Structures are given as structure tokens and as C-alpha cells.
Amino acid sequence: MAVLGGLLLLLALLLLLVAGLYCCYVRRVHAAYDHIPGAPRESFLLGHLPIFWRMMKKQEFLHDLFLEWTKKYGPIIRVNAFHRVSVLILSPEGVKEFLMSPEYPKDRLVYGRIFNLFGVRFLGNGLVTDRNYEHWHKQRKVMDPAFSRTYLIGVMETFNEKAEELMEKLEEKADGKTEFSMLTMMSRVTLDVIAKVAFGLELNALRDDRTPFPHAVTMIMKGMTEMRIPFVKYMPGKQKMIKEVQESVRLLRRVGKECIEKRREAIQSEKEMPTDILTQILKGDALEETRDDENILDNFITFFVAGHETTANQLSFTVMALSQHPEIMERVQAEVDEVLGAKRDIEYEDLGKLKYLSQVLKESMRLYPPVPGTVRWTGKETVIEGVRIPANTTLLFSTYVMGRMERYFTDPLCFNPDRFRKDAPKPYYSYFPFSLGPRSCIGQVFAQMEAKVVMAKLLQRFEFQLVPGQCFKLLDTGTLRPLDGVMSDGKLSLAMHRAAALFSPEVTERPSAAASCTLQRRTVSPCSLSQTHRCPLGSQPGAQVRAAPRREGTHGKVHSQILAVPEPSPCSDGWQLQVSLIRAVNSAYSFWIVAQSFHVCEEFPVGFLSSFLC
């Protein structure tokens, strides 16, 4: 008995000693970083974590807090959590130094966490997560040709085909009853595109939402959000979800494997091969002494994860922003009409002419970057903006915050595509939705071509409008893990993509997964349509927007810009003009889309119709 008591006492003393030593260590860490400005710590050990936890509970977006902080504490800010200190860098000087150089690797803790997903190999050492410069560089060099402009021009056909399918789907839903999610539709089209272009796979996510592959991708995205919940692995209520996520990752890897084997056979029998991403990956692998099939599969998954939801979010945000700014919508529609008219297939040359649309897409990513930031690690001491940043520190970057800072953008909360006019000064290391430097997005041009094709077709045929009384707010749906409250922002970027795209009224309840809409087909004379309201952007960070009330019977002007009217021509079997009303009904977000679908002789530019009718 006495022995046991003694042992227990010893154990207690030992614990006390360890706790004491740990506290001393934390104190030393504090001392090493406390010269860096930052919000007061709420607790000695937890640091700023309690603040993050409270925000997460309220479904608030962590980057909005950073935006507040930078107003008080400047562009270099310290963030404490236990013995770890990260430094938020919101200065162009810092962005340039750390992102443009290969010297600062991605942070191990953040990116290492997605090597596996619930124990199943996930992104592994794929292009996004690879932290070894040599290995990454080899992979990147091998894949670059698949993203060259010349190759991408050939991909226009696929962009057109899939975007056209989306348009068909949208019109199909116009029955006034069917509820659907805009973000989901965008995700499906981008998923179909990446599968086809990168790996030659016809997924048909748009046509058939029951096929297992798209579902698996959705589950994986969900898994990436859920894994941020502390101890989720041990929660009985989550076991089913975890199993499904694991199964989904395995399914993706299995499909990838089949896909790779097929392609290898084809290469061997010397059939003609597309220069797609898969061919590039296999070529690269053939140069290696040892084949690394697992690494190839890492990249297979990486492209699905990195290449579809990002673009889908950008598209959804752009639809939202345009709905809020009728005058901008009108201008971009006019451009689309001028460049495309009623043309169905968009050509590569057309993309260059859609200048204002490019500006709109860029501006949309300034306020709503699908990937809000990135994370680096520095192994050496650096001085930025006169602040000494110690070696061995995690660095956080946020294009979301910098895009909303008055210091870098005048009237930052105002959605104004003219900021990106050709003759306007370029943002100086304060805007990086695709990141910057060696680790910037390989799919940037790809994504912007795809986004333009989809948006141009959408604008050519549909009109959007907000339902009255809505309040829009960016949401971070994920629950961050306590130990990495701050880190999880960078986490990736990828986990946050989906979060950032949710719009929700300003409520505390959990947002529903995505906006749902119903479509209704209607015949309305365009003459009765007149533009009514503008939606001022709220002054709150987080861009809460309240739309003005929708007046009865007005659905927005349809193509006010009348193009050169051709001679009224003998289009003998006549034409019909249909204006469909798409209504979004959902507590999370909703808007009206007035859709036009034309069954016309192809020669007539869109503007002709409205002018004729009126």
C-alpha cells in the first residue's frame, strides 16, 4: 500500500515537474516573440485560441478577425497557441520576400496533415503538398507542358461542350418546383471538365448525379472539413461518415489506378495520346529510376481536389457579386453580346476580347478568393517592415485580408472591376488568389479560361437577381482544431474552398450545405422588364450585403444594350423568345435569375431580339 502511495506521489510530482517545465518553455517562446505586435493573449497557455473557438462557434470567418487585427496592430501580427507562435504577414514586402522565393517551404504541420485522410493515403506527396523542393520541382517541370497556352487552346472544345451541358441542365430545371443548388451545379461542371481534360475520363457528373465518383469527391471534401474537428476520429457519431470518406478516397485511388494502367497500355501499343495531365505524369514517372505509383495516384487525387471546387466557388461568387451590381452586370452582358452575339461555341480568340469579364472575375477573387491564403515556414531570421521575425516560425498569408485593406485598395469593400482595368496600376504583392512565386497555381490559366467560358455562356442566356431582404456573409463552416486554430486556415486552402463559398443570412444556425434554387419557366415580354435596384455593399467586413426590395413585376432589364440591328430578315418559321425565371429559395441564400433561352436563327445577335420585341 505504502509502495503504491509512494509511486502515486512520485508520479504526481513528475507530472508537476513536466507541467512546470512546459510552462517555462512557453514563457521562453513568448519572450522570443513578444516584440511582434499582436492582440492580447486571452490565456497564458491557450493564447488566442479562445477567440478563435468563439468565432468558430458563431460560424464566423477567421480571416475577418485578422482584418480587424491588422487595423489595430499593423501588417505583421503575432498569433499564439500553446507553445506555438505563427506570424501573420500582411505586407507586400513580406509577401514578396516569402512567396517569391523557393527558400521558404510550405509549412510541415499544415500540409503534412493532409498526407492521409482518416488514415488512408490522400494527397500524399502530390504537387500541392510536396514540401521537398527537388522532388516538387521535378514534378512541376514534368506537368508544365499540359498547362501551356498552346495545349490549353485545344481544350476549348471540352470547356464549350461541358458548359453547354450545364446550360441545358439549368434550363431543364426551369419548372418552378425543382430545387437545386447553384454551387452544386457549378461543382459538377468543373468536375466533368477536370476529369475529361486531365485524365480523359467521362464522369458525367452533370448528367447523372448518382454516379459514385462525384459522390466520392463530395465525401472527400466533406471529410477535409470534418477532420478539423478535434478528436473526430473517436466520436461514435462520426464513424459512419469516416468510413464513407475512407471508402471514397480508396475509390478515387482505385479509379486512378485503372485509368493509369489503361493509359500505360495505350502508350505501349503506341496509340496516339493526348498531351493531357495524365500523359505528362506518366512521362515524368518513366524518367525516374524507380516507379512510384503511389505518387502518381497522389497527383490524380490532387488534381481533382485542387482543380474543381476552387473554380466552382469562383463562379458562384461571381454570380453573387453580379446579382448585387446590376450596372456591372449590364456592362458585362453588353460585352458578351458584342463579342459573342448568339454564337454557341466560344473560341479562344473570343476570350481575349472579353476584357471586362476578365476584370469582373479578378475583382470577384479580390473580395471572395476561393483559396484565402497560404502558409510557409521560415528557417532563418528575417526583418520585415522593421519587425524581426525569428527563425523556425510558421508564416500565414492571406489574400482575403490584404484584398480588403484600405492600405492597398481604396474603398476596399466596393466591388469595382475597374480596379483591374488595363491602364490601372497593378496591385503590388497585395493580391494573390492563385498564390505567387514557384508554388503558385499551375492551373491558373486553365481555370480562368474555363471560368470565362462558363460565365460568358451564362451571361449570354441568363439574368440574375437577388431576392429581397437577404443578407450575405462569408462563412467558414469548418470547425477548427484547437491546436491549430490558426494553421487550419492555410489548410489548406483546400479545405476552405468549400467553406468560403457558402452564403448565409446572418444567422447563428448552421448553414445548409449550399444554396438551393428552383427554376421556373415563364414567358414574359422583355418590354415589361425594367431594371430597378442596386445593392450597396455593407460596411461590415465580411461584406454583408442587403439587397433592395424587388419590385413587383420587374425582373431586370434584358440586354439593354441593343446591338447593330440587322435587317429584319425572313426567318420564316419565326423565332420564340422565352424568358425563364429562376428563383432561388433557401434560407442560406437565394436570388432570382431571369433566364432567357433562345431558339433562334443563329445569325441574329441576342440584342436584336429584345430590340425587336420592344
Which option in ligand NAG, ligand HEM, none does residue 447 bind, with CB closer than 5 to 8 A by kind? ligand HEM
Query: In this complex, which beta carbon is closest to ligand NAG, that of residue 84 or of residue 557?
Result: 84
Rg of the chain (C-alpha set): 26
Which option in ligand NAG, ligand HEM, none does residue 392 bind, with CB closer than 5 to 8 A by kind? ligand NAG
Strand pairing category for 84-89 and 393-398: parallel
Give the shortest CB-86-to-ligand HEM separation in angstroms: 15
Burial of 218 (0-12, 13-18, 19+ CB in 10 A): buried
Query: In this complex, which beta carbon is closest to ligand HEM, that of residue 435 or of residue 460?
Result: 435
Which option in ligand HEM, ligand NAG, none does residue 580 bind, with CB closer than 5 to 8 A by kind? none
d(CA 190, CA 75): 36
Contacts of 190 (CB under 8 A, 6+ apart): 307, 308, 309, 311, 312, 315, 450
Give the shortest CB-83-to-ligand NAG separation in angstroms: 12
Which range touches ligand HEM (CB under 6 A), out of 171-179, 400-408, 436-444, 478-486? 436-444
Q: What φ, ψ does residue 151 adopt, rounded to 5°?
A: -65, -40
Which option in ligand NAG, ligand HEM, none does residue 374 bind, with CB closer than 5 to 8 A by kind? ligand HEM
Strand partners, 301: none
Which option in ligand HEM, ligand NAG, none does residue 311 bind, with CB closer than 5 to 8 A by kind? ligand HEM
Subset of residues 468 to 507 that bind ligand HEM, contact rule: CB under 6 A: 492-493
DSSP 239-307: HHHHHHHHHHHHHHHHHHHHHHHHHHHHHHTT------HHHHHHHHHHHSSS--HHHHHHHHHHHHHHH
Single residue of 38, 124, 443, 526 touching ligand HEM by CB under 6 A: 443
State the residue for C-alpha cell 476549348.
156
Which option in ligand HEM, ligand NAG, none does residue 446 bind, with CB closer than 5 to 8 A by kind? ligand HEM
Give the shortest CB-374-to-ligand NAG separation in angstroms: 21
Give the shortest CB-267-to-ligand NAG separation in angstroms: 43
Is position 383 an interface residue for ligand NAG (rule: CB under 6 A)?
Answer: no
Query: In this complex, which beta carbon is closest to ligand NAG, that of residue 117 or of residue 395?
Result: 395
Is position 391 an interface residue for ligand NAG (rule: CB under 6 A)?
Answer: yes
Is position 528 an interface residue for ligand NAG (rule: CB under 6 A)?
Answer: no
Query: In this complex, which beta carbon is closest to ligand NAG, that of residue 378 or of residue 398?
Result: 378
Give the shortest CB-417-to-ligand HEM separation in angstroms: 16
State the residue for C-alpha cell 492600405.
407
Strand pairing category for 462-466 and 393-398: unpaired
441 marked as part of a ligand binding site: yes
Single residue of 446, 464, 503, 589 touching ligand HEM by CB under 6 A: 446
Which option in ligand HEM, ligand NAG, none does residue 439 bind, with CB closer than 5 to 8 A by kind? ligand HEM
244 HSE (CA, 13 A, CB side): 18
User: Considering only CA atoms, which of 351, 8, 320 is closest in space to residue 159?
Assistant: 351
d(CA 62, CA 480): 10
Query: What's the length of the chain?
Result: 614
Which residue sits closest to ligand HEM, CB atoms considered?
Answer: 443
Query: In this complex, which beta carbon is closest to ligand HEM, that of residue 325 or of residue 376?
Result: 376
d(CA 132, CA 106): 9
Which option in ligand NAG, ligand HEM, none does residue 441 bind, with CB closer than 5 to 8 A by kind? ligand HEM
Which option in ligand HEM, ligand NAG, none does residue 127 bind, with CB closer than 5 to 8 A by kind? ligand HEM
Is position 439 an interface residue for ligand HEM (rule: CB under 6 A)?
Answer: yes
Give the shortest CB-384-to-ligand NAG separation in angstroms: 17
Single residue of 166, 357, 442, 515 touching ligand HEM by CB under 6 A: 442
Give the shortest CB-511-to-ligand HEM separation in angstroms: 21
d(CA 454, CA 129): 29
For CA atoms 152, 156, 161, 166, the dihedral sign is positive
The conformation of residue 47, written as its DSSP 8-state character, comes to B
Is position 533 an interface residue for ligand HEM (rule: CB under 6 A)?
Answer: no
Considering CB under 6 A, how many residues would be counted as binding ligand NAG? Answer: 2
Single residue of 392, 528, 540, 569 touching ligand NAG by CB under 6 A: 392
Cβ neighbours, 10 Å, residue 211: 12
Give the shortest CB-442-to-ligand HEM separation in angstroms: 5
Query: In this complex, which beta carbon is closest to ligand HEM, that of residue 255 or of residue 606?
Result: 255
Query: In this complex, which beta carbon is closest to ligand NAG, that of residue 383 or of residue 391?
Result: 391
Subset of residues 140 to 199 that bind ligand HEM, contact rule: CB under 6 A: 140, 194
Which option in ligand NAG, ligand HEM, none does residue 128 bind, with CB closer than 5 to 8 A by kind? ligand HEM
Which range touches ligand HEM (CB under 6 A), out of 36-44, 334-342, 439-447, 602-610? 439-447
Q: What is the grid cell recorded at 528? A: 415589361
Is position 127 an interface residue for ligand HEM (rule: CB under 6 A)?
Answer: yes
d(CA 333, CA 327): 10
Cβ neighbours, 10 Å, residue 407: 15
Contacts of 361 (CB under 8 A, 6+ apart): 314, 318, 448, 451, 452, 455
User: Considering only CA atoms, which of 186, 464, 502, 506 is closest in space to residue 325?
Assistant: 464
Give the shortest CB-573-to-ligand HEM separation in angstroms: 42
Q: What φ, ψ does residue 305 adopt, rounded to 5°?
A: -70, -45
Is the distance from CB of 476 to CB of 496 less than 8 angstroms? yes
Which option in ligand NAG, ligand HEM, none does residue 391 bind, with CB closer than 5 to 8 A by kind? ligand NAG
Using alpha carbons, list the distances in angstroms from residue 385 to 3, 97, 238: 60, 11, 45
Strand partners, 389: 382
Give the shortest CB-401-to-ligand NAG separation in angstroms: 27
Strand partners, 464: 593
d(CA 352, CA 418): 17
Subset of residues 290 to 319 that bind ligand HEM, contact rule: CB under 6 A: 302-303, 306-307, 310-311, 314
Helix then strand then coil, in percent of the chain rounded to 5, is: 50, 15, 35
Q: What φ, ψ does residue 581 adopt, rounded to 5°?
A: -110, 120
Which option in ligand NAG, ligand HEM, none does residue 493 bind, with CB closer than 5 to 8 A by kind? ligand HEM
Question: Which stretches of the chain bind ligand HEM, using CB under 6 A?
Answer: 127-128, 140, 194, 302-303, 306-307, 310-311, 314, 370-371, 374, 433-435, 439, 441-443, 446-447, 492-493
Question: Which stretches of the chain bind ligand NAG, using CB under 6 A?
Answer: 391-392
Sequence ranges of the binding site for heme: 441
Sequence ranges of the binding site: 441
